[in-house]
Structure 1
Amino acid sequence: MNPPPVLRRATPADAAVALSWTPEDDALRRWAGPSTRCPATPESLWTDINHADTTAFAFGSPGHGLVGFGQVRFREQTYGHLARIIVSPHHRGLGLGRALCTALMREALKLHPTITGYSLYVFPDNLNAIALYRSLGFADRGMHPSYHCMLMEAPLPAAPRIADCVP
């Protein structure tokens, strides 16, 4: 039996693997953001997403390799913001998105112990992701004023529930 995936700091090589999961420019921009250069190279992607205020994480295990990627940043001095969450297409539907999100929430609290909640953006047509985020305590907070994506937030009391979500 393979050990469960664990979260670790990401490297440019991890971002390159995640890039391979979004082969079309539209999919890449939906995942990595509208300012991402397309077509992207592994080097340009890492430059575009690796900001001083953002910590990138890889989610994987020796038995499966890299199965997910995500980032955490401090938003508005209040929120642990989860960003660029993605699970390998070959590993979707196995509960790894939930495990990745809960691991990112734990890291957000470790990195920014003064947060009062979590936030993230999601496209309104990404129904599977929205259902997952709602099950983790996130609620809709309206549309982004410039991009066609929805802000979701969860209060910090969601944190005790995250320990129950790891497979």
Structure 2
Amino acid sequence: MDYLIARFVHILLIAAWFGMTISGKQRAQWFARENLAKAAPPEIYLRKASVAGSLIGLGVIASGFWLIHLLGGFDAVPWSISLGFAASLAIVLTGALMIGRNWKKLATRRAAGAPQAELEAIAKQVGLWERAVQLLWLVALVSMVFRFEL
């Protein structure tokens, strides 16, 4: 029963975490193109997204540890589970270091009145890192769902 609960929690958190990457590029472009006077400041979105992403990401990793523990530890699981776990850690680092940094840069430059072209270039960087995260998601999901054995 613990395994089913852990797996349910893990999948639920994964869906929420992955869902955050889907709209990131569009939201960054929207903030880059919107008139500063009429739109919500990106700092509000950045604060909410970073807190939610951090908590959900840590929840995914914690529930993953829980599942690995229930299966007998890292020695008892296939190497593909370890690969997926490593991809999850890479997602956390990419989100915190690259996506978060570019969002902060977008917010700062927008507040300073940077030209539209510069803001759109920063938004494009956010989108590229979001796509990199989605590729890491693909690695994590395929490796963990199919559990390859060598």
The structure in which a higher percent of residues are strand is 1
Do they fold alike, i.e. is TM over 0.5? Answer: no
The structure in which a higher percent of residues are helix is 2
How does the TM-score come out when normalised to structure 2?
A: 0.26
With a CA cutoff of 8 Å and minimum separation of 6, indicate the structure with the bigger relative contact order: 2
